[in-house]
Every structure is written in structure tokens, then in C-alpha cells.
Homo-oligomer: A and B are copies of this chain.
Amino acid sequence: MPRAEVREVIELLARGELTPEAAEARLAREPLVDLGFARLDARRGDRQGVPEAVLAEGKTPAQVAAIVSALHERGHETILVTRADDDVRAAVRAQVGEIEEDAEARLLWVARDVPEPAGSVTVVSAGTSDGPVVREVATCARLFGTAVRIQEDVGVAGLHRLALALDDLRAADCVVVVAGQDAALASVVGGLVTTPVIAVPTSTGYGVAAGGIAALLSMLTSCAAGVAVVNIDDGFGAATIAARIARAAAGAA
């Protein structure tokens, strides 16, 4: 049962639009799957939906494999695992088989019922070392049902490179800026477009740049209007909100 449905039932119940009996009946059709260390919303499989996302970091490879396996058996929504290092991907591959992977972005996924693309997102990065996060944003956003364009290595220290990216920036329903040492890029892009901008600080760089705090602060204080920020290196989070913005702008629910 997709998460959205569980929610719906519980809320109908809370607002009195559903009797408890009816609610119980609906919920009982496919109960939550409890693996002990994790609780999964098993899906009913009769509607196209949002991916089930699993953060691999902090879990053992065996745990991740068990979760993906359980989700896989029960239906056909997309399953997406983020921050999945080599061991995790190998463990899942051994158990589930038909997965797709991106080692650089530390992603693995089983794409099922991916929605028709609606709207578009342009991902722009300051430098080559921001590449893994760029790929995480792009792959996730595509799985969430939106078109993606990429413009890499566009630092503000060379504005002419930015000029070449202008068309793609202007054509998007939402722009995602990925940058670490050159976080000034968010301000500059924010001043050039009128669409919402989601900024992702990265942990690349050394000295005071190390870890990404400097980039985060720089992006938060941007004087350009229309910029909001997600956690450091959180390509998944940026993709989620960007895809929602783009799809809505294109008239998709």
C-alpha cells in the first residue's frame, strides 16, 4: 500500500470522513511489513507513485538488501537507494538482481512506473568535483518524473562560461545550483533567472571550505531573490523539491 494511501486513510479517519471500521478494512488489505529494524509501507501496486527512498548510509549492506528485497517482492513502485557505496550495491545486486546503478552518485534503483516526464529542471554546477552530487540530482529528478538538463563546471570566476549556460537556465521550470568553493554561483544564477532556484552546498574544497559549511552560509545569505537551500551534499532532497516544482509548473499533479 503506497504511503500516500495510508496517509489518506488515516486522515479521513482523523477528520471523521471514514469510520474506524472502514479504515481498518482498507488498512488491513496489505499491512505494513515489519523487518524488525525497519518498517516498510508495502504497496498495493495499483497506482503509479512516488519512489520508496532508502538512505543507505548508517545501515549495514545486509539491512539495505533486506529492505530492497522486501519492497521489491511486494510491488512495482520505483525503489531508490541513496548514498549507497560499493558494498551496499553489491549486497543488493546479489539479492535482487535487476537493479540499475550509478557508482559515482552512489545510487541504485529499480525503476518501475516512472511517471511521464513533466516540466524540466536544469542542474548547474560550479566545478568538476561537484559531479557526484550533480548526478544524484539528475538521476533522482528523472525518476521523479521530470526532464533534466545539465551544465557542469560553470564557475563565476569565469562569467563567459556562465553565459553559455544561460539558455538552459532560462528554459527550466526550476534551477538547481550545485557548488562548494564557488558557492557564489547561487547568487549569480539567482540574479539571472526568474524561476525558483534550489541551491545545494557541497562538501568539496579545503581549509575553511572543507565540509561545506562556508558554501551553506554563502548560499543562505545570497542577496538574489528566489533561492532556497537544502542540506550539504543533499542531491536527493534538491531533486525532490525541484521535481515537484517543475511538475506543478507543467500542470502535472
A→B interface (CB under 8 Å): 3-4, 6-7, 10-11, 13-21, 23-24, 32, 36-39, 41, 50, 53, 55, 57-59, 63, 67, 83, 126-131, 152-161, 163-164, 166, 173, 180-188, 190-192, 194-198, 201, 203-209, 212-218, 220-234, 236-238, 240-241, 244-245, 248-249, 251
Contact = CB atoms under 8 A, between A and B. Distances in A.
B16 A20 contact: yes
A92 to B, nearest CB: 15
A122 to B, nearest CB: 15
Given A10-B163, A163-B10, A221 B207 contact: yes
A18 B214 CA distance: 39
State the copy count for this chain. 8
A204 B60 CA distance: 13
A215 B221 contact: yes
Nearest to A181: B221
Contact of A208 (B190, B228, B232): B232
